[in-house]
Amino acid sequence: MVGEKPKVASRLAQALGNYSVESNRGVKNYVLEKNGDKIIIAPAVGHIFNLEDQSDSWDYPVFDVEWAPTFETSDSADYMKKYYNNLRDQLEKADEYINACDYDLEGSVIGSNVIKHLTGASNERIKRMKFSTLTSSDLEEAYDNLESFDEGMTEAGLTRHILDFYYGINVSRALMKAVRDNDRYKTLSTGRVQGPALAMLAEKEREIMAFEPDPYWEIFLRNSEFDAKLERDGENRLWEEEAAEQIYSTVEGEDETIVSDVDTRNYKHKVPVPFNLTDLQSEASSQFNINPKQTQAIAQTLYENGLISYPRTESQKLPAKLGYENLLKKLKNQKNYEDLVKKVLGKDEIYPKQGGKEDDAHPAIYPTGEQPGNLSKKERKVYDLIVKRFFAVFGKAAQRQSVTMTLEVLGYEFKAKSKITLERNWFDLYDPYVRVEEAELPELEEGQRLDVDEFEKVEKETKPPRRYSQSGIVSELEKRNLGTKATRAQIVDRLYNRDYIENDPIEVTKLGLSIVSVLQKHCSEVVSEDLTRDFEEKMQNIRDGENSKDEVLSKAEKNLGKVLKAFKEKQKEIGSELVETIDAERNRKRKLGPCDKCEEEGRENGILQIIKTQNGRFVGCTNYPDCENTYPLPNNGTINSSDKECETCGKPMIFVERKNNRDYSMCVDPDCPSKDDW
């Protein structure tokens, strides 16, 4: 039996019975007997096999690929060698094999690659375990109901990997060779989903860049208890200054208004649906400012600890076979949730709100009821969010009330609006994560006269389109059926790593815009949503047995070959365009701002910049040797300008990115008072 990770292998063993531990090559295997069969549970560590280009050149196009041990294709995967050797040793002893990796495309590929490449076993000798939690009861049930080899899912997963390799390796090489032809080196990449994702962000960036604000005016009536806004023909913006001034000058001297209408409406605030991965990523971003990639990693840890169900799901449904009452009773044993569970169990009918999205492999994310051990601060937050969302879906709709009060002054109408909660219902089950407006107006009746404190005319401008947040672009990718629930956050992260995007909300860099421009001009199908979506449909067809892997790959090879041939003919020209942007971006990230010493001593054009030498890096002035102003820089991490000044001393700030995600900003001056607490 192959478990996807060592921790999962351990949980499988604990669930299936009394076991002994046998170490081999520094790896723990779990041995037990069940129903008269001897079972060896051996762990993988993710993808033990990866795709590799079979040619020795660094040219393109490349379509001759093979699966090879990951430790042979990646310098950072040497730790996998002992797991590979251990799996080979254990699989040699077996007559039958069980893929007990996660039940999705990735898990199917991981397990089947290990079994098939190390044993050559036929499909008939391979069984599949299907489970959605790592609780003992679910794992036991999955073992007692082993399924046959999941050929459709495995073939679809293998096809996805090869397609991604075709597009990723070929177009990335084409871009980098174009740059090298112009005597520059820069790691560039794109891919079957990465390209369309960047194109979407670039389209938004261009909209923002092209946006020209329009002025408008609003007129407010100020009362001691509330504000009301002028509304005319259903519009509260005045687009002509003359009209705004005329209305304002007419009403500004009035000190009294009359209530001409009070419109009260009661409505229901619907119960939320259960979390799928994208919904969880969006909510964790909104509530805790945790980015989608971190949320996915945290959810995976909670799953491996048996605390929640499988997180990489698209489903928003909780099937009845989960046993709602039993889950709730288990959660009641956790002191934090005892009172909330009592509220849910006290209902006449215990049935959850269901969402519209389904996943044929897993239900929506739900807590298993297992007692959590030591969780980190972020893990505790995400776990609490998942538990309370689970409670909320069993609640009743909240009862809300909106009030729109119309005030009349010399024939002009001003409207004041409020919303309040009458019955909280599911809000109580989801606290403190409920985000609703609560603003109450005084109780007034039609015909009632009120004092006016003042009128105010305010000039404003229309705002550009809103940028995508990290969670926003992940949600948009899901809406457009681009990528998978498991890969969308990783794709966004890769765009950051390639310097195509920065900040959150997301800004596309000049390099990112240039990459999209080049691809749209010379390699348009790599940024085509239609092509990517078509391949997603083809992979679903492979799962359903309607298309074959070879058929899909052959079409991709033919199409991509034509595109790359045309690209190669203009390679140097394309590279020239990219190099100009690469150089400009490098200079931008190096420049920190005006040199304080030059300003003090009256020298012009002194700019502080990041300087790299064989002996290290530091901040120096462009007026060197006339100005010898310098500041030290940290030894570790990637350092870029943050385009900000220190609030304490006014000197430039830098942003330091570190591999462990512990990024930070700092002032360049080591003696700045902002560092006193360091």
How does DSSP classify residue 659? T
- Pairwise CA distance, residues 629 & 619, whole Å: 8
How do 37-43 and 2-3 pair as beta strands? parallel
Closest CA to 496 of 486, 485, 483, 509: 509
Q: Read off φ and ψ for residue 259, nearest 5 degrees.
A: -80, 110
**Coil, helix or strand at residue 463:** coil
CA distances from 26 to 22, 85, 87, 288, 598 (A): 10, 10, 12, 39, 61
Instruction: Please enumerate in sequence order all residues whose Cβ is within 8 A of that of 40, keeping only pairs 6 or more positions apart, or say none.
Output: 1, 29, 30, 31, 90, 93, 94
**Residue type at position 655:** F
Q: Compute CA 172 distance to the chain's CA centroid, rounded to the nearest angstrom.
A: 23
Alpha helices in 105-260 (DSSP H): 105-119, 136-144, 151-180, 194-210, 241-251
Are 542 and 549 spatial neighbours (Cβ–Cβ below 8 Å)? yes
- Pairwise CA distance, residues 407 & 417, whole Å: 11
- Pairwise CA distance, residues 189 & 508, whole Å: 15
Are 267 and 400 spatial neighbours (Cβ–Cβ below 8 Å)? yes
- Pairwise CA distance, residues 578 & 216, whole Å: 40
Tell me which of 310, 366, 412, 430 is the catalytic residue: 310
H or E element in which residue 528 lies: none
Closest CA to 175 of 207, 157, 158, 198: 198
For the chain, the first-to-last Cα distance in angstroms comes to 50
How do 2-3 and 97-100 pair as beta strands? parallel
Structure token digits, residue 100: 């007990």
Are 244 and 230 spatial neighbours (Cβ–Cβ below 8 Å)? no
Confirm whether 303 is a catalytic residue.
no
Cα angle for residues 221, 225, 230 (degrees, 5° grid): 20
**Residue type at position 338:** E
How do 454-461 and 215-222 pair as beta strands? antiparallel
Q: Considering Cα of 376, then 379, then 380, then 381, what sign does the dihedral take?
A: positive
**Coil, helix or strand at residue 336:** helix
Structure token digits, residue 38: 């001897």
Structure token digits, residue 564: 């790359």
- Pairwise CA distance, residues 275 & 139, whole Å: 22
CB atoms within 10 A of CB 186: 18
CB atoms within 10 A of CB 399: 15
Closest CA to 193 of 468, 509, 490, 559: 490
Closest CA to 526 of 502, 550, 562: 562
Q: Using alpha carbons only, how large is the chain's radius of gyration in Å?
A: 30
Enumerate the active-site residues.
Answer: 310
